[in-house]
């Protein structure tokens, strides 16, 4: 009993559900958050993988990580109809594994860290009284997570959620119509490794444009590549694409290399792969771009660009518009419009004073939180959910 009381002083026993050990945005955010604050009373239940050499490796020895279940396929929510039967079996199997796992049964609150884990987590929680929280990192719409994923989210996950934490107000708004009226909600940006106000390193070098995002067709690398080619056909400007190519997108990375060569850009386009020292990377970028071809619920890269004081360009839709005010701390361009992106690049190239002023305003953007601040807000939110569920059940007796 005394051990449990001491644990609760550190916050509720929080079980995070994660479906993969591949380094995606949700997984990196969870790792950053748990590393930033030793006060967590937390564990992770991973569907498959090896935490010792995956994205969760930095947490080994600090946070209990249990691996139990079946591999959840990437892109399952948008897979063709014939494949959905197999995906459904995997979800049901994982739900049963989660529901019977000791870590689930002993948790004060269970948090689904990804859309996929939310699907099997909600199924497991349906037969349990454990408070269940969903972290909304994608818009709860078919355009973002596929028709099957949206159906599961809207009909199964959100109606079961006792709490919903979203990266942006736009993401929360997409979920709210399908949630219970008494669900506790909050908008808290993901842990993005921010160091707001970090000084930039100025040096003599060619103009450098960059994008920090996993290599994936919808993240907009090809759109940026084409715009860069149009804006900087001549000269020594450099384009750097930083990010690994998970979830089977190695061929797309090769395509980008071939496309750069076909455009005559050669070594002025650099595919950097996964970059560990993001801070050092961003300090040498003059212009940083988010050009996703579908609406981003947040775009952690946008927060990283702003905190680093980069002159930032974003697509004018989704979560990034909650952070970037046009011509104040960045520029917006018409989504999926290569000509509009080209014009934005050319403008920032031609107006170094504007680049500098946007960079200064970017670093001073209100609401940018470092990982420790995000961690504290998340932990407090989960405690609020646990408390509200307890009060609600007490009133119903």
pTM of the model: 0.84
Cα distance between residue 286 and residue 310, in whole Å: 6
Nearest C-alpha neighbor of 307 from the set 212, 194, 192? 194
Distance (Å, rounded) from C-alpha 121 to C-alpha 202?
47
Q: What is the pLDDT of residue 81?
A: 55
Q: What is the pLDDT along the chain (397 residues), one digit of tens a residue?
A: 334 434 545 679 999 999 999 888 899 999 999 999 989 999 999 999 999 989 999 999 999 999 999 988 765 454 555 556 788 899 999 999 999 999 999 999 999 999 999 999 999 999 899 999 999 988 888 888 888 889 999 999 999 999 999 999 999 999 999 999 999 999 999 999 998 765 666 667 899 999 999 999 999 999 999 999 999 999 999 999 999 998 788 999 999 999 999 999 999 999 999 998 999 999 999 999 999 999 888 888 999 999 999 999 999 999 999 999 999 999 999 999 999 999 999 999 999 999 999 999 999 999 999 999 999 999 999 999 999 999 998 876 5
Quick one: pLDDT at residue 195?
Answer: 82
Around Cβ 113, how many Cβ atoms within 10 Å?
Answer: 23
pLDDT of amino acid 338: 98
Instruction: Output the pLDDT for position 99.
Output: 97
Which stretches within 194-277 are classed as H helix? Answer: 221-231, 250-262
Task: Decide if 2-192+370-396 and 208-363 have a common fold.
Answer: yes
Between helix 338-350 and helix 221-231 the angle, nearest 10°, is 50
Q: Which backbone phi and psi does 269 adopt, to 5 degrees?
A: -110, 125
Nearest CA to 117 out of 157, 163, 150 is that of 157
Beta bridge partner(s), residue 110: 15, 132
For tokens 């970090």, name the residue. 198
Q: Which CATH architecture has domain 208-363?
A: 3-Layer(aba) Sandwich (3.40)
CATH of domain 2-192+370-396: 3.40.50.2000
Q: Which two tokens stand for residue 108?
A: 């004060």
Residues 6+ positions from 41 with CB-CB distance below 8 Å: 7, 8, 10, 11, 12, 13, 14
The whole-number pLDDT of residue 146 equals 84
Q: Where are the domains of the chain?
A: 2-192+370-396, 208-363
Tokens 């644990």, residue located: 7
CB neighbours (10 Å) of residue 301? 28
Among 200, 220, 368, which Cα is nearest to 281's?
Answer: 200
- Count of all residues that appear for the chain in the document: 397
What is the number of alpha carbons within 13 Å of residue 256 lying toward its C-beta? 31
Give the pLDDT score at 3.
41
Q: Check residue 75 and give its pLDDT.
A: 55
């Amino acid at each position: 009993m005394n051990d449990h009381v001491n644990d609760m002083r550190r916050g509720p026993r929080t079980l995070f559900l994660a479906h993969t050990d591949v380094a995606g945005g949700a997984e990196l955010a969870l790792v950053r958050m748990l590393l930033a604050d030793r006060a967590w009373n937390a564990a992770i239940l991973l569907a498959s993988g090896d935490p010792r050499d995956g994205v969760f490796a930095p947490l080994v020895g600090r946070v209990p990580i249990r691996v139990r279940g079946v591999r959840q396929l990437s892109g399952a929510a948008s897979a063709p109809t014939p494949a959905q039967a197999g995906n459904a079996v995997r979800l049901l199997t994982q739900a049963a594994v989660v529901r019977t796992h000791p870590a689930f049964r002993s948790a004060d609150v269970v948090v689904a860290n990804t859309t996929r884990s939310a699907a099997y987590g909600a199924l497991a929680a349906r037969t349990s009284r454990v408070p269940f929280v969903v972290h909304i990192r994608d818009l709860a719409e078919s355009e973002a997570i596929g028709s099957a994923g949206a159906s599961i989210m809207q009909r199964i996950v959100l109606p079961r959620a006792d709490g919903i934490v979203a990266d942006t107000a736009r993401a929360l708004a997409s979920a709210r119509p399908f949630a219970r009226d008494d669900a506790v909600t909050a908008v808290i940006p993901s842990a993005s490794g921010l160091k707001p106000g970090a000084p930039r390193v100025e040096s003599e070098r060619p103009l450098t444009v960059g994008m920090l995002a996993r290599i994936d067709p919808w993240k907009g690398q090809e759109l940026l590549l084409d715009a860069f080619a149009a804006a900087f056909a001549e000269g020594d400007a450099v384009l750097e694409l930083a990010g690994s190519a998970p979830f089977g997108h190695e061929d797309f990375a090769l395509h980008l290399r071939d496309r750069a060569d076909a455009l005559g850009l050669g070594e002025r386009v650099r595919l950097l792969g996964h970059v560990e020292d993001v801070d050092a990377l961003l300090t040498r970028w003059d212009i940083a771009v988010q050009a996703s071809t579908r609406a981003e619920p947040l775009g952690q890269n946008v927060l990283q660009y702003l905190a680093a004081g980069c002159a930032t360009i974003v697509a004018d839709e989704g979560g990034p518009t909650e952070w970037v005010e046009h011509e104040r701390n960045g520029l917006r361009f018409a989504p999926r419009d290569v000509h509009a992106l080209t014009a934005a690049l050319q403008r920032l190239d031609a107006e170094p004073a504007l680049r500098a002023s946007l960079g200064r305003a970017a670093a001073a953007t209100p609401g940018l939180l470092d990982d420790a601040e995000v961690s504290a807000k998340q932990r407090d939110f989960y405690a609020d959910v646990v408390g509200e569920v307890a009060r609600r059940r007490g009133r119903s007796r």
